[in-house]
A and B are shown apart, each in its own frame.
Chain A
Amino acid sequence: MRFVDEYRDPDAALAYARQLERLVTRDWTLMEVCGGQTHAIVKFGIDELLPKQVTLVHGPGCPVCVTPVEILEKAMAIASHPEVIFCSFGDMLRVPGQSRDLLAVKAAGGDVRIVYSPLDAVRLAAENPGREVVFLAVGFETTAPANAMAVAQAARADLGNFSMLVSHVLVPPALQAILAFPDNRVDAFLAAGHVCTVMGFTEYEDVARRHHVPIVVTGFEPLDLLMGVTMCVRQLEEGRAEVENQYARAVRRDGNQSAQAMIREVFEVVPRKWRGLGEIPASGLGLRPAYARFDAEGALRRGRPDRGGVERVPQRRGATRRAQAHRVRGVRCRLHARAAAGRDDGLRRGGVRGLPALSPPPRG
C-alpha cells in the first residue's frame, strides 16, 4: 500500500539503528504517547533494534484504557434499556466496568452495535425514528472532529433520537501531568502523530520550552518511529529541547483548521477523569450547552427514554489512583491483543515498563 509499505523498508530501518548506535553516548528514556505507536513498536520489534541505552516507555495509552469506570457503568446502564440502540467503536466492548463489560450487556439482550464511524450512528438514528440511538464518544483529539461532525449532522437533520455519552480526552494536559510527577524520568516524548494531524503542534512548543524536554511529532510506521527516536536522541545529545515534526507528510504546524473549528463549535474543554490517573483539570471535551440536547446523560435525566436507574449506578468513591490502576489489569484490548502477547495489557503493561504515571502523587 502506498504510504505504508515504503516505511517498512528493512534496510532503511537498519540504517537508522546504526545511526542511533553512533549518536548515543548515555542512557535516555523516551515515552511514546500513543497506544497505537506502542502497538507498532512491539509488532515490528522496534525496541529490539534500539541501542541498549535507549528505553521506550508506554505513555498514557489510549482513550480505551483511560475511560473511567463510571462512564462504562453509565454506558452499560443505558445500553440495557430496551428502547436504546447503543453504538460504540469495537474496542470499547470488552473494557470492564465494575463487574461486566458491554459485550455482556449485548449477550444479555441489549442492542449493542459496533460502528466503524460515529456518522454510522447518526444514520442509524435517522433510519430508526422509534428508537433512541446513543453513541459512546470516546477518543483523543484525533477522533474529536468525527464525533463533532456526527453531532453537527444530527443537529442539521434535527434528529431528536440521537445522543452521545461523551468521554473525550486531550493529550497535552496528560503530558503536563506526567512531567509534573516528582519521579518523572521521561527525557523526551514521541508525540502522537494523528492527534497532531488534527491539532497541529503549537501547543507543545511551550511545554518543550518550559520543561526543557524534546518533543518529536511521530508517525506510526517502523521508519517513522525509528526516525522519531533518532530525532529525540539527537536533540538530547546536543542539549536541545525543541518540537520537531517527523510526520510532516500528515502533520502541518497548525493542524487541520476546519476540523478544529468543528471541534470548537460542538465541544468545550472540561475536567476529565482518567482511569488510572485520576481527575486532570481541563483534560477532556464535553458538549457545549448549545448542543446539550445531544448529551445522552441529559437526555436520560429528562426521562427520554425512561432511564432504567442510571442514577443508581454505584460510583467507585474513594478508590485510590493505585487501586484504579490495578483494576485496569484485566483490560484485554483487541487492538493491542497481539502486542500484549501473554502479558496484562493497558496501563499495567505501562507499569511493567516503568510508566511513571502509575505511581500515585505524594500526599499533602
Chain B
Amino acid sequence: MCLAVPGRILSIEGTDALLRSGRVDFSGVVKDVNLAFVPDAAIGDYVLVHVGLALQVIDEAEARQVFEYLTMMGEVGELVEVKS
C-alpha cells in the first residue's frame, strides 16, 4: 500500500501550486506525475512517486550510505575478496 517507486523527471509543466506536473520515466514506462510537493525538483532529478504524486527528491549523495555503512564497519575488504 505504501509502495513508492523512484523515477526520473523528463519534463515539467505548469506553475500552478496544485497542478504542477511532469513526465516521469520509470525505466522505460513514462507516466504523468503531480509534482506539487517537490517544488524544487528539476528535470533529471529522481523522485519517489506514490499513487501519482512525487513525495520527495532522492538525495544522490545519501544514496550511497548503504555501502558506506558497510565500509565503516570494516566489511569492505571482505566485499572485495568475495567479488574477486
Chain A residues close to B by CB (< 8 Å): 1-4, 7, 11-12, 14-16, 18-19, 34-36, 62-64, 89, 91, 116-120, 138-140, 142-143, 145-146, 149, 152-153, 156, 192, 194-195, 197-198, 220, 223-224, 227, 230-231, 246, 248-252, 256, 258-259, 262, 335
Q: Which of B16-65 contact A (CB under 8 A)?
A: 18-19, 26-27, 34, 36-39, 46, 48, 50-53, 55-56, 58-60, 62-63, 65
Cβ-defined contact, B52 with A256, below 8 A: no
- Contact, CB under 8 Å: A192 / B83: no
Contact at A256–B56, with CB atoms within 8 Å? yes
23 A-B pairs in the complex with CB atoms less than 8 angstroms apart: A3-B6, A12-B70, A15-B79, A16-B70, A16-B75, A35-B1, A35-B2, A62-B2, A89-B1, A117-B51, A117-B52, A119-B34, A139-B2, A140-B1, A142-B2, A143-B2, A145-B53, A146-B52, A149-B34, A156-B18, A194-B48, A197-B56, A248-B65
B26 CB, nearest partner CB in chain A, Å? 7
In the bound assembly, the distance between CA atoms of A63 and B19 in angstroms comes to: 27
Does B51 contact A89, Cβ atoms closer than 8 Å? yes
Known interface pairs A14-B82, A64-B1, A89-B1; A3-B46 also in contact (CB < 8 Å): yes
The answer, among B1, B73, B79, for a CB contact under 8 Å with A139, is B1
**Contact, CB under 8 Å: A197 / B48:** yes
Q: Which of B50, B63, B75 lies in contact with A249, CB distance below 8 A?
A: B63
A194-B50, A249-B65 given; A36·B36 CB < 8 A: no
Question: Across the interface, do A142 and B55 meet the contact criterion of CB distance under 8 Å?
Answer: yes
In whole Å, how far is A6's beta carbon from the nearest beta carbon of chain B? 8
Q: Is the CB of A192 within 8 A of B2?
A: yes
In this complex, the interface size class of chain B, counting residues with CB under 8 Å from chain A, is 35 or more
A contacts with B: majority SS: helix
Which one of B2, B58, B73, B83 lies within 8 Å of A194 (CB-CB)?
A: B2
Closest to B53 in A: A146
In whole angstroms, how far apart are the Cα atoms of A142 and B67 in the complex? 26
Interface contact A198-B46, CB-CB below 8 Å: no
Nearest-CB residue, chain B, relative to A222: B66
In the complex, the answer to whether A117 meets B53 with C-beta atoms within 8 Å is: yes
Q: How far is the CB of B63 from chain A (nearest CB, A)?
A: 4
Q: Which residues of B contact A36 (CB under 8 A)?
A: 1-3
Q: Are A258 and B36 in contact (CB under 8 A)?
A: yes
Residues of A within 8 A of B2 (CB): 34-36, 62, 139-140, 142-143, 192, 194-195
Q: A18-B75, A19-B75, A119-B52 are in contact. List 13 more A-B contacts (CB 8 A).
A: A7-B66, A15-B82, A35-B2, A36-B2, A89-B51, A117-B52, A120-B52, A140-B1, A149-B18, A248-B62, A256-B38, A258-B39, A259-B37
Q: Which listed residue (A19, A117, A335) contacts B70, Cβ 8 A?
A: A19
Cα-based distance from A195 to B2 in the complex (angstroms): 8
Q: Which residue of the partner chain, among B53, B56, B67, contacts A250 with CB atoms under 8 Å?
A: B56
Is the beta-carbon distance between B63 and A3 smaller than 8 angstroms? yes
Set of chain B residues within 8 Å of A335, measured between Cβ atoms: 1, 3
| Interface contact B55-A1, CB-CB below 8 Å | no
Q: Which residue of chain B has its CB nearest to the CB of A156? A: B18
A197, B55: Cβ atoms under 8 Å?
yes
Are B18 and A145 within 8 A (Cβ)?
Answer: no
Q: Pick from A2, A11, A153, A252: contact of B82, CB below 8 A.
A: A11
